[in-house]
């Protein structure tokens, strides 16, 4: 009797593979959307408006700084908000200031907002923020040396700058920190 029941059950379930597969896909989609919603809530993020001609990031914050603010093991710090506005007339943002003044954090925040928006995630900026949907994001921030490729810090930086020199138009975002500072 046990064999008969198991055989019938196996035969029945074998016929439901398409439904199981469809259910798995729906559950996966729901899990992704729920995770995105949880992340957005935790980061106090908002949806950006895609505007091909301007960047207007209001109250921009670095997601990791916000995330760490809610971590009980991390030291509580005030997260500085920045407004970044660029358009066809003002296409270059040049940052200067003292060491540890937040220049690199702001560059990374802009890049993360652009990439999060491209991935369909809400961004760590206030409502009403606008950003283009960038086709490519070129980043020269930090040390990109690669021993396997025989690239020193300086050579790696130049390689990134060389690749970025071939792009044009407002559908590319170039983020360069300490240009040729290596």
Which percentage of the chain shows pLDDT scores above 70? 96
- Which helix (H) or strand (E) segment holds residue 109: the answer is helix 103-118
Determine the pLDDT at residue 145.
65
pTM, entire model: 0.78
C-beta neighbour count of 72 within 10 angstroms = 5
Give the C-alpha separation, 177 to 162, whole Å: 15
* Residue 76, both tokens: 């509580």
pLDDT (tens digit per residue) in 21-31: 999 999 999 99
pLDDT at residue 14 is higher than 80: yes
């Amino acid at each position: 009797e046990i064999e008969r029941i198991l055989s019938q059950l196996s035969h029945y379930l074998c016929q439901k593979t398409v439904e199981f597969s469809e259910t798995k896909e729906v559950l996966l989609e729901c899990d992704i959307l729920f995770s995105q919603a949880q992340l957005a809530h935790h980061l106090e993020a908002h949806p950006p408006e895609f505007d091909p001609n301007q960047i207007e990031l209001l109250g921009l914050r670095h997601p990791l700084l916000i995330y760490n603010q809610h971590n009980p093991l991390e030291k509580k710090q005030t997260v500085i908000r920045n407004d970044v506005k660029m358009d066809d007339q003002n296409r270059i943002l040049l940052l200067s200031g003292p060491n540890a003044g937040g220049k690199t954090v702001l560059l990374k925040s802009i890049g993360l907002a652009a990439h999060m928006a491209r991935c369909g995630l809400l961004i760590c900026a206030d409502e009403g923020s606008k950003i283009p949907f960038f086709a490519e994001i070129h980043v020269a921030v930090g040390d990109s040396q690669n021993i396997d490729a025989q690239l020193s810090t300086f050579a790696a930086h130049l390689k990134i700058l060389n690749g970025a020199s071939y792009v044009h138009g407002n559908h590319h975002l170039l983020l360069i920190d300490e240009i040729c500072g290596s």
